[in-house]
Chain A
Amino acid sequence: MLAYFLRRVMIAIPTIILISMFVFSLQHLLPGDPLLVLAGEERDPETLEFLREKYRLNDPIPVQYLAWVWNALQGDLGTSFRTNQPVTELIAEKLPVTLQLAIMSLIFALAIGIPAGIISAYKKGTVTDWAANVVALSGLSIPNFWLGIMLILLVSVKWQLLPASGYVPPGEDLWQSIRTMLMPAFVLGTALAATLMRHTRSSMLGVLTSDYVRTARAKGLSERVVVLKHAFRNALTPIVTLTALLFGELVAGAVLTEQIFTIPGFGKLVVDAVFNRDYAVVQGIVLVTAVGFIVMNLLADMAYMLLNPRLREA
């Protein structure tokens, strides 16, 4: 298992290098001069030239890239053009925010998606199955931004139950932090719940008709044990893969959700940075996200082995 783990890590390294090269060159291919954006309404040519030198924008792109890699290896991801803050500091500030959103969304997604999937598979063809499908489909089809704004108008403005937007760190006030994050997590969670529900359903359907489930029933085991212990555990493997892949969707979905609810997380940081051509910030975030995604996939593979002993020998 350890050898397998190490092998996977070795494969991950070139992937990360390729991603960082790709993003670096892609950013520089974007039209628009970062310093013109930075300068805003004051475009003193002398100051612009000084800043171009300061941020090494006059060097050829490969040189800029190597300089970035060299600094990154020493833990320095550069500074934001716009606010002069170190990128590592920005990331350290934003990462917990988006992680909290991702975890709370995932809880929503799992809590809604998996039970709904099991029930609809078990009650296949009934009104319950049909209703669960309709709900899942609407979760997928309703755009996040619409649902988000509707919730704000209803829950915050009309009923005044939850804060409309923003973010409170859990360390400052845990209860308020969860309350503020509830609506965004729900919005992001519902879309994922739909995907999870559909996959759980089809996976369960396959398992429920298999021989060993019939055997389990024949042994006289209770339906509860048959469904949850025998069928569900075997249906779980594809769901674990999916959950790991959903992590990517969570990060992508967070971009939009954070914009709507003005959550100062990764998504908002990267969108603003792209529009401002804040190269160092975009680059730093992409690096951290890529590493995060690779780690999630690695964890998912490890989880299979725990769930399915047959894989451990391979």
Chain B
Amino acid sequence: MKHLTLTTALVAAMAMPAVAQDLRIALQSDADVLDPDQSRTFVGRIVYASLCDKLVDITPELEIIPQLATGWEVSEDGLSIAMDLREGVVFHDGTPFNAEAVAANIERSKTLEESRRKSELASITSTEVTGDYAITLNLAQPDATVMAQLADRAGMMVSPTAAAEAGADFGLNPVCSGPFSFGERVAQDRIVLERFPDYWNADAINFDSVTFLPIPDTTVRLANLQSGDIDMLERLAPTDLAQAEADPDINVVSAVSLGYQGITFNVGNGDNASGPWGSDKRLRQALSYAVDREAINQVVFEGAFAPGNQPFPPNSPWYDTSHPIEARDVEKAKALLAEAGYPDGIDLTVQVPNTTIPLALMQVVQAMAGEAGIRIEIVSKEFATLLADQSAGDYFASQIGWSGRVDPDGNIHQFTTTDGGINDSGFSHPDVDAALNAARTMPDMAARKAEYDKARAILIDEAPLVYLYHQSWITALDASIEGFTPYPDGMIRLEGVTKSE
């Protein structure tokens, strides 16, 4: 019997390459410019997962594993990283991949004027080519986050020849070294990638082309999967989950994301911070106690997401288990309000992006907070306006989130340190600064986590950000697609994925 199964599998495997197979993937929105050094969108990164290989990759458990770099070693003093590179790799234009190419890529990420990767690679001061396939990265100070950066766009290798020729226009015709090469792009319609026959890991790739189709409407995206027009879609709406799961021709998989959603308070960004909500932490704590995070997950997200109270989801190794998600406690919330001098309740204006999910979320929060005496006024703003107002300090509280980073530093440092790049809250605390600045230099995970826990204790108490939930990346696939693994970063990796006819 076993023998028979094997034979069948072999026959199937032999028959497969005969058909030219195209994999059609629906994205929630259109990607921006296809230059790893310039791009900003989540969906752009999904396209890169098939187009551009990186120095290192991650496992679903967030461990860093080799991709174009086969091994690396951090020096004793933490000031350099010696890296061995994969041999026999070529870019889509035939340019060989080697240590010179890596040096050119890091140089480009750091110096191209349009580059968005500068801050991610800020700690790398120089590179030294020590062999054809060996390179050393020199760091300004020990940096525990840099390998994780190299597992994303900052570590994507583009052809130095093509990059030098195209300059800032590289994104119109990207040339990398991934499993698929750039075919064509019709804005808002499709991005087509063609199989790259010289890919170093070509055996793991089972498609002749991949077509990415931006389909923003969730209902239409699902309808396309049901009608067989596409093979898979990313970010199925939780409201469509029941329908998709009931369909025998569709499989649904999901992974809790690295990001978070919550409410950011203005505690030190301009005049608005001097109001009661900016100056009295007891009010912010009261709001946190007033909401039932599990109920929010059930009501707004059909239970498909993960409730949360920290920048890392509860299943993350960085989650501080000594501060678990508090159960809802309306009495405690009322007591805190009374203690702060508002026994009859208080008003709070929260700005919210004017799209379905944030509005639904805030309406539920509004109802819950209302029972504790917090009268929330929802001001819905179009996203561009919300962002500008938040950055300028022209708000009291804002419903906003973060897409998440592999390294914990990316989820917390820039939001809660005094000089953090996205510290729209205006939060500043010397002990938090010290802990978070120390954490990013520590190679030892346990020691690092101790620093994050130290900061967490203060942040939970001060509550400049009240975290509510962590989104899950829900991917829906046609039943014929096999071998797909969902990752916490939401990327679609096609190694080992097959489609049966």
Residues of A within 8 A of B (CB): 30-34, 36-47, 50-51, 54, 82-85, 90, 93-94, 149, 152-153, 156-157, 160, 163-167, 259-262, 264, 268-269, 272, 275-277
Point out the residues of chain B lying under 8 angstroms from A149, CB to CB. 219-220
* 8 A-B interface contacts by CB (under 8 A): A31-B385, A37-B387, A41-B40, A44-B118, A46-B118, A83-B187, A275-B383, A276-B384
Does A43 contact B384, Cβ atoms closer than 8 Å? Answer: no
Which residues B1-59 have CB closer than 8 A to chain A?
30, 32-33, 35, 38, 40-41
Interface of B is mostly: loop
Q: Are A269 and B116 in contact (CB under 8 A)?
A: no
B421: A residues at CB distance < 8 A: 43-45
Distance (Å) between the CB of A146 and the closest chain B CB? 11
**Number of residues of chain B lying within 8 A (CB) of chain A:** 47
- Decide: A82 and B33 in contact? CB cutoff 8 A: yes
A165 B220 Cβ-Cβ under 8 A: yes
User: A47 and B384 in contact (CB under 8 A), knowing A84-B169, A85-B172, A262-B214?
Assistant: no
Q: Are A264 and B187 in contact (CB under 8 A)?
A: yes
The 6 closest A-B pairs by CB, nearest first: A32-B384, A264-B189, A40-B40, A264-B188, A31-B385, A156-B227
**A83's contact among B32, B113, B119, by CB below 8 Å, is which?**
B32
Q: Chain B's nearest CB lies how many Å from the CB of A48?
A: 10
Known interface pairs A152-B223, A160-B228, A165-B224; 13 further A-B residue pairs with C-beta atoms within 8 A, sorted by A's residue number = A33-B388, A37-B387, A44-B118, A44-B119, A44-B421, A54-B113, A93-B186, A152-B219, A261-B220, A262-B213, A262-B215, A264-B188, A268-B188
Which one of B114, B187, B227 lies within 8 Å of A163 (CB-CB)?
A: B227
Which residues of B have CB within 8 Å of A50? 113-114
Instruction: Report the bound CA distance from A91 to B335 in whole Å.
Output: 60
Chain B residues within 8 Å of A, Cβ to Cβ: 30, 32-33, 35, 38, 40-41, 113-116, 118-120, 168-169, 171-172, 186-189, 213-217, 219-220, 223-224, 226-229, 382-385, 387-389, 391, 402-403, 421-422
Determine the distance from Cα of A47 to Cα of B30 in the docked complex, in whole angstroms.
23
Chain B's closest residue to A261 (CB) is: B220
- Most A CB contacts (10 A, CB to CB) among B30, B229, B389 go to B229
Q: Looking at the complex, which one of A33, A259, A269 makes contact with B217 (CB distance below 8 Å)?
A: A259
Q: What's the Cα separation between A81 and B448 when bound, in Å?
A: 39
Is A32 within 8 A of B40, CB to CB?
Answer: no
A84–B33 CB distance below 8 A? yes
The answer to whether A36 and B228 touch across the interface, beta carbons within 8 angstroms, is: no
CB-based contact B187/A269 at 8 Å: yes
Docked-complex contact B187 and A39, CB < 8 angstroms? no
Q: Are A259 and B382 in contact (CB under 8 A)?
A: no
Contact indicator A85/B388 (Cβ below 8 Å)? no
Q: Which of A45, A164, A260, A264 contacts B229 (CB 8 A)?
A: A164
Say how far A15's CB is from chain B's closest CB, in angstroms.
29
Closest to A84 in B: B33
Q: Which residues of B contact A31 (CB under 8 A)?
A: 384-385, 388-389
The 8 Å CB contact of B384, one of A36, A54, A84, A160, is: A36
Q: How far is the CA of A42 from the CA of B171 in the complex (A)?
A: 18
- Assess whether A84 is in contact with B215, with CB atoms less than 8 Å apart: no
Measured CB to CB, the closest approach of chain B to A291, in angstroms, equals 21
Query: Do A43 and B422 contact each other (CB < 8 Å), given the known contacts A164-B229, A165-B220, A166-B189?
Result: yes
CB nearest to B402 among chain A residues = A41
Q: In the assembly, what is the distance between CA of A33 and CA of B386, in Å?
A: 10
What chain A residues lie within 8 Å of B33 (beta carbons)? 82-84
Contact status of A157 and B116, CB under 8 A, knowing A40-B41, A93-B187, A259-B217:
no
The residue that A47 contacts in the complex, of B115, B224, B385, with Cβ under 8 A, is: B115
